[in-house]
Structure 1
């Protein structure tokens, strides 16, 4: 049964010419939520996201948005509904932040509808929301990693879609910039009701920001649901091959994964008395 106001994946099988990467996968994504795909390297989570964005054609199965098969919709219509930010996007040398953001309005242009004041307003709002207004005339290649990612997110916001799809948006960013980007996406969801679907590697950050987590393993969905339901020792050991403990994040109250590993353990040292001279 197709889900109204959401995105439905039915019997999806994806391959790159060899054995399937995804096989017979069924999944429903709710509108208005933050969903995070997690899984080990090569498990197919990015492939799944690209199938949802119609960047890859399924070998079998279908992806439906609001009850309509994405493959049957015109490309521009899909781009007015779904905005995709792939991993590690690159911009032509010398392209400014403003010029990049304006690219997001392409799906709304036609021979009959050229650039308008409304287009310019939406672009300027996208720059404002991402904190990039003061960098509008800077070239994208002159920005820091976090600023560059914000510029790309501004472009996706300029598309003015309800769905934002992001493949590892925090890759290559330091921890402070990771939090900055995830906070931005969280605010877009909270304040504007934007649906966010993204791939993340960090399980603890996924738990902090996601309403719904989808663990991809063995070519399909191994587990899905709220973080406190999905994040178990069994899931981490099965999906990631990692022995761990699950605790509670002392700040957010979300699940906290503590890997066992083989790191150096500090021995408790006897307390020294303070010396006075």
Structure 2
């Protein structure tokens, strides 16, 4: 099943055409990650899928409905988006920010409800922001601020979540924590997750579906183990590398060559035990993920 689909989508910034006649189908209940170099159009595409950017022509379909025909609140009940670098008003507390995620469910007949309170508290707990609920957003560190915005997105309670570089400003431990959380939402609640990531190895580890973008075109789309290889990385990033199997997860792991510093082991062959473990992990992954 398809969660989001683009039909003959054309996107531009000013006089610059970014995408031309793009047809894309993102699977429902899966994690899709957009990868590509800076400026290739990943964020532009994500914004268009959320109706934050109007296309020159073409159509975006959300769960079978033309997104252009839906009311703003209706879209907000179906889809949440966390853009790059969001800004909160001065003096706004974390709790007040997270409560904004329940705005789509408010009207003059229905004000704040017990369900709203439950969703806000759960979002704070999932992101470990409960102890910081009374702090102002502008007093937080970059990583804490990012987690607060993610909490607001989760409080929205939508079946589809779009995130533009959600691990920005986070150290490695918190990057894994956020991606594990998104994985949990997908596994346990079948949420559709669509996000932009710069770390290719984390993208391969967490994504069911990868969309590789180069200069406004989709170079490849599919399961990480089916499409991520040395040729794709060279095409998308203009980078020489080796792609080996992650010894823990069996997913593709990109080991880049340096443009200045050259690799010591030009003909590196993984240890036999590591190779065997990787092969077993890959087989298990493929069994769990239907074609």
**TM-score normalised by L of structure 1:** 0.91
Secondary structure, in 3 states, of the residue corresponding to 2:17? coil
Give a deviation string over 1:35-84, Cα, whole Å, max 9, x none: 00001111111000000111001111100012110001000000110100
Deviates more, 1:151-160 or 1:175-184: 175-184
Per the TM alignment, residue 220 of structure 1 is displaced from its structure 2 partner at its CA by 2.1
1:111 maps to 2:105: no
Equivalent position of 2:124 in the other structure: 127
SS at match of 2:161: strand
Deviates more, 1:134-143 or 1:48-57: 134-143
Distance in structure 2 (CA, Å) of the matches to 1:236 and 1:83:
30
Q: Is the 8 A contact 1:37 1:213 kept in 2?
A: yes
Is the Cα–Cα contact under 8 Å of residues 146 and 181 in structure 1 kept in the other structure? no
Q: Which whole-Å CA distance do the structure 2 matches of 1:64 and 1:260 have between them?
A: 40
Aligned to 1:62: 59
Q: Offset of 1:16 from its aligned partner?
A: 1.1
Compared CA separation, residues 67 and 266, structure 1 to 2 (3 A): closer
C-alpha separation in 1, matches of 2:260 and 2:130: 44
Rounded to whole Å, the distance in 2 between the matches of 1:34 and 1:106 is 26
Partner of 1:247: 244
Q: Which has the larger radius of gyration?
A: 1
Deviates more, 1:109-118 or 1:50-59: 109-118
Note the C-alpha offset of 1:199.
0.3
Identify the residue that residue 140 of structure 2 maps to in structure 1: 143
Contact 2:40 2:214 in 1 (8 A): yes
Cα distance in structure 2, aligned partners of 1:147 and 1:31: 30
> Where in structure 1 are there 5+ consecutive unaligned residues?
269-277
How many Å separate the matches in 1 of 2:264 and 2:237?
A: 29
Q: Which residue of 2 aligns with 1:261?
A: 258
Q: 2:22 aligns with which of 25, 33, 37?
A: 25
Unaligned runs of 5+ in 2: 266-291
Bigger Cα displacement from structure 2, 138-147 vs 240-249: 138-147
The correspondence of residues 66-215 of structure 1 with structure 2, limited to 5 A, is 66-215=63-212
Distance in 1 (CA, whole Å) between partners of 2:170 and 2:79 is: 25
3-state SS in 2 of match to 1:21: strand
SS in 2 for 1:80: helix
**Matched residue, 1:216:** 213
Given that 1:25 and 1:219 are in contact with CA atoms closer than 8 Å, whether structure 2 keeps it comes out as: no
Change (3 A) 1:267 1:168: closer
Task: Kindly indicate whether the alpha-carbon contact (under 8 Å) linking 2:2 and 2:26 is maintained by their aligned counterparts in 1.
Answer: no
SS at match of 1:87: coil
Counterparts of 1:136 and 1:264 in 2: how far apart (Å)? 46
Question: Which residue of 217, 220, 230 maps to 1:233?
Answer: 230
The structural deviation recorded for 1:125 is 1.5
1:176 CA displacement? 2.1
Q: CA RMSD in A?
A: 1.6
